[in-house]
Chains A and B, each alone.
Chain A
Amino acid sequence: MAAPLTLLLIVAVTIRAVLFRSSLAELIVERVEVVSPLNAWKRVVEGLALLDLGVSPYSGDVFHETPLMIYLFHFMVDYAEIVFMIADGITAVALYLSIQTYNKNVFRKQKYALESDRYPADCLELLRSPKEMFYIPLKVAMFYLLNPFTILSCVAKSTCGLNNAIIALFILCTLKGSALLSGILLALATYQSIYPLTLFAPALLFFLQRLYIPVNLRRSSFWFFTLQYAFIYVGSLVVITGLSFFLLGSWDFIPSVYGFIFSVPDLTPNIGLFWYFFAEMFEHFRLFFICVFQINVFFYTIPLSIKLKEHPVFLIFMQIANNLEDRPYPTVGDVALYMAFLPAWSHLYRFLRNIFLVSCVLLACSALFPVLWHLWIYAGSANSNFYYAITLLFNFGQILLVSDYFYAYLRREHHLTHGLYLKKKDGTEATLVLK
């Protein structure tokens, strides 16, 4: 499979190179759907310019990147385009390898379950075959590299691409079983933007499953491993933060980066829900709603982990997807990351209920975002409500997509344990409902 992957990489790099050289690059760098105050390239250049002027980049409110990013781009600012293309390539290859590993795991578990006769007789058609699973890693890489959202994000040189690369590497290391590397990469991803913190639980569950340690709060083996992994994670986080301190000699970056993410002072419009909500918020409720919205991001971790403790990889996907909807400053690059996983669950297609509606909604919203932005900001004939409506619709479409896949996954699991063709007590065909 190396040849098709190489071909895919070449095609993707060509498309990005062509777009970098065209006049569209200047247009895309400015678009609010693709860049946000957290990861805009213009702000990285501004931070470097402030550093050249002798002013700390964190003294103003323009630069919100971490010090390691300054360090990286201090040397690489002339080769920025290559850096972002390489990041995209790394993400695609990491996703390819991790899905390949995952598929092997799935197939092996399925074989064991078949041999021990754990599946009811009529659900054999739900089982996955190697033939069907052969092209899935390539499709995942293709979904990431050729996704217009990813291409736009790369051409805009949004540092979201680098964040995605770190998360993809983290997933690869987790699936390959290396707890040390996985902890370090997760610490790096959390250091970049706080929300990957929620991926700690799925990674932990995966390792526990891999090492055959039962998830039982009373067992000492569980706590032993958990503490080990937490120590690696927290330790690397502390080391990275300490390195950042020594780089610039001050703790200024903590309120500028993390304080900024948590308190949402900048209300620049983006594809998320936060900006207009807090633009129209009454002042005395602001703190309350900020707490509510931030808790909303982290809050699904425990219930999802409990429900999906046998399926940590799907849990990773769910966490990434959930994080995205409720972030303060989302961009289309984040959307592209979880959309890349969708071919891995292509076997759930028969149980998806809203897929047509969701795809129409997402397509329509992607087309309407630039139109309504132009009407509001440049033509002056629309107002902010139009753009806000499309953000509502876009987020609603994403929620529908994620919950639809969740429903399909749970339903397939139910069928695998109880049989595909269920009958009611009187022998007629039954319908399944959630009760």
Chain B
Amino acid sequence: MWCIIESKSRDQFQEELVIRPLHSGDIYASFQFRTLWDTDFLQERQKVSHYRLFPKSLGQVLSKFSVRELHISFTQGFWRTMQWGQPFIPSPPGAELWVWFHDTVSDVDGNWKELTNVLSGIFCASLNFIDLTNTVQPSASFKPLGLGNATDHRFLRYATLPREIVCTENLTPWKKLLPCGSKAGLSVLLKSEKLFHSSFHSQAVHIRPVCQDEQCTSKAWELRQTLNVVFDLYTSGQGKKEWSLFKMFSRTLTEACPLATSSKVYVDITDNPELFELSPATPLLSQAVVLGDRRTYSVFDLTRAEMFGQLRSLNLLLRDMLRPLLHAERYVAGFGLQTGEIHTVIYNNHPYRAFPVLLMDSVPWYLQLYIHTLTVTSKSRDNKPSYIHYQPAKDRHRPHLLEMLIQLPPHSMTEVTVQFERALLKWTEYTPDPNHGFYVGSSVVSALVPSMVAMNTNFTQDQPLFSSFVPVKEESSYFVRVYTEPLLVNLPTPDFSMPYNVICLTCTVVAVGYGSFYNLLTRTFQVDEPSLPLAKRLANLIRRIRGVPLLA
């Protein structure tokens, strides 16, 4: 009978993730893993030996050192309250440890010292630097968060190590304490590569005794492992207010932890329901009052298999709703200084209307465009422009002009590519900083975009200036001109220090050619007779005067 009682599981595990988009464009994710265990560590008679969901290392720590409450946190970064609001679980930078010991403990300091050493082994942190020089016993600030009415602050110890750095070696043992490890459930998202590339990262373990029910007839131990992380808009988000589980954690959710009774993801949608959209949409909503504010959350219950769809993966997407209807980008592709490709990408974000746009490109003459390589593709299919006006460039006289009328399909991306070759210019035609590159002016996209709202075609005198710049000709569409980015293109450069040397060397080679041909053309072959030495020549001279035969 004793075995049967013991075999009934008295522990349960819940996991939860809250995602809150912050006002500054960053995103805050808070994981909480809670294990509730109906047992009593502090009982002298029965030593707890059968651990199931509760980690054994922590259980042994609790019983050996007679710990009533344990709170330890490791934080990298500082929580910016003015920009991000209040966190769910606050923590200071570095490591923080505060412990309430049981009032049966006689030597609290001794227990504290051994406890810090054991914890530093469990979490691979240098908590052994905690000693009497940085430990305090706060009298009022850190009252117990769990059950217990003890107020004798001699049993409380508090220490922080602000210098402690958090890294993967601290995350790995923390993950090992979870029942599912990092293999299933929400903990698959905890990849250190992405977690530590964030503005704020905090992992904590909170152990306290709690009531099991409202009347508090029996006690249970609660272990909460929390991980708070704030991803920065620019570092992790690449400047775009578009977040997804994959972008934040480089993983998606595949299943709930089989050992969990509840596994939920909450996404905070209170703030701006029109400003961002959440996909996949879920009808489950819940409201909660937290930190003095009533907030609405979309709930994803991971224990339901239909959450994961056919691909067995759940990737939540939060997208900024600000989508202009017409948008264009341009970039240069290719490598090396010989050729390249100009890509112009035009986005039509209207959900169901297609409309034509006029694209104008003016490319300087030193980037020679090849119009036979012009391709226009929409949705990976060829989209032939209905009107093309092309005026090729004349070297050093006029640039290229390319104008095209392209029909943009609804909700699509159209890509226009054209290849070019880079010319070598005369050395005086380069700017003083030639390796900065040469600028190519923006492309201009002009279009009549269909309007959601009827426009006013009447002209009134007291119209504000900002709405009267472009004359409105029809009600159903408005004129828009979109400019793309200018391009910066590098050209091959000659060596600017070499004009004199080049002229000399080239003329030398030409002169060698000229010289050898001159020799061969103007001279004839003759037998090489050695010339007489000087003495004999002088003697010959005298002999000639005398009229006597010459020497040989």
Contact = CB atoms under 8 A, between A and B. Distances in A.
Interface string B476-518: 0000000000000000111100110011011001101110110
B331 interface: no
Contact of B392 (A50, A400, A403): A50
A431 B527 CA distance: 6
A2 interface: no
B423 A283 contact: no
Q: In the complex, which range does the number of interface residues on chain B fall in?
A: 35 or more
Given A53-B371, A62-B370, A399-B513, A279 B427 contact: yes
A223 interface: no
Nearest to A285: B503
**Overall SS of chain A's interface:** helix
B220 to A, nearest CB: 67
Nearest to B520: A406
A283 B428 contact: yes
A431 B529 CA distance: 9
B215 to A, nearest CB: 78
Contact of A432 (B335, B337, B526): B526
Interface stretch (A100-108, A187-195, A263-271): A263-271
B285 interface: no
Main secondary structure of the interface of B (DSSP, over half): mixed
Given A49-B372, A61-B395, A385 B495 contact: yes
B45 interface: no
A280 B498 contact: yes
A273 B506 contact: yes
Contact of A377 (B337, B392, B510, B517): B337
Interface string B353-394: 000000000000100101110000000000000001011111
Nearest to B530: A424
B509 A435 contact: no
A218 interface: no
Nearest to B338: A377
In this complex, the interface size class of chain A, counting residues with CB under 8 Å from chain B, is 35 or more
Nearest to A389: B505
A406 B503 CA distance: 28
A197 B493 CA distance: 35
B64 to A, nearest CB: 65
Nearest to A422: B527
A383 B339 contact: no
Given A267-B426, A279-B424, A399-B516, A434 B498 contact: no
B509 A399 contact: yes
Contact of B492 (A376, A392, A424, A433): A376
A50 B426 contact: no
A430 interface: yes
Contacts of B520: 307, 403, 406-407, 410, 434
B523 A434 contact: yes
Interface in A10-53: 30, 32, 42, 45-46, 48-50, 53
Contacts of B352: none
A60 interface: yes
Nearest to A55: B390
Nearest to B502: A280
A142 to B, nearest CB: 29
Contacts of A322: 517
A283 B494 CA distance: 15
Interface stretch (A151-159, A205-213, A224-232, A296-304): A296-304
B371 A433 contact: no
A170 B186 CA distance: 82
Contacts of A425: 529
A281 B525 contact: no
B174 to A, nearest CB: 47
A50 B499 CA distance: 37
B424 A277 contact: no
A296 B510 CA distance: 9
Contacts, number: 166
Contact of A62 (B368, B391, B494): B368
A268 B368 CA distance: 11
A59 interface: yes
Interface string A266-293: 1111000101111111110000000001
Contacts of B273: none
A311 to B, nearest CB: 13
B426 A60 contact: no
A422 B339 CA distance: 61
Interface in B423-473: 423-428
Interface in A380-409: 380, 383-385, 388, 392, 395-396, 399-400, 403, 406-407
B109 to A, nearest CB: 66
Contact of B395 (A266, A277, A296, A377): A266
A383 B493 CA distance: 8
B528 interface: yes
A46 B509 contact: no
Nearest to B499: A280
Contacts of A280: 427, 494-495, 498-499, 502-503
Instruction: Count chain A CB atoms within 10 A of each CB in B505, B523, B527 and give the residue with the most.
Output: B527
B517 A406 contact: yes
B324 interface: no
A396 B395 contact: no
B532 to A, nearest CB: 12
A431 B502 CA distance: 38
A53 B428 contact: no
Max count, chain B CB within 10 A of own CB: residue among A32, A266, A275, A276? A276
B394 A384 contact: no
A266 B396 CA distance: 10
A62 B336 CA distance: 21
A42 B420 CA distance: 11
A46 B365 CA distance: 16
Given A268-B424, A407-B520, A59 B391 contact: yes
B524 interface: yes
A79 to B, nearest CB: 18
A424 B425 contact: no
Contacts of A276: 494, 502, 506
A304 B517 CA distance: 9
Interface in A194-249: none
A273 B423 contact: no
B519 interface: yes
B523 A46 contact: no
Interface string A96-119: 000000000000000000000000
Contact of B393 (A53, A61, A399): A61
Contact of A378 (B336, B391, B393): B336
B506 A55 contact: no
Contacts of B528: 424, 430-433
Nearest to A278: B426
Given A49-B371, A278-B426, A411-B525, A385 B498 contact: yes
A403 B506 contact: no
A410 B395 contact: no
A55 B391 contact: yes
A128 interface: no
B370 A269 contact: no
Contacts of B371: 46, 49-50, 53
Given A30-B339, A377-B492, A277 B503 contact: yes
A31 to B, nearest CB: 10
A422 B400 CA distance: 69
Interface in A125-183: none
Contacts of B395: 61, 265-266
A407 B5 CA distance: 114
Contacts of B338: 30, 32, 377-378
A42 B495 contact: no
Interface string B123-136: 00000000000000
8 contacts: A50-B390, A269-B424, A282-B499, A378-B335, A384-B494, A395-B509, A399-B512, A414-B524
Given A62-B370, A307-B520, A326-B510, 6 more contacts: A55-B392, A279-B427, A378-B337, A424-B528, A433-B528, A435-B524
User: Which 6 pairs, one residue from A and one from B, show the smallest C-beta to C-beta distance?
Assistant: A60-B392, A49-B372, A403-B516, A434-B523, A378-B336, A399-B513
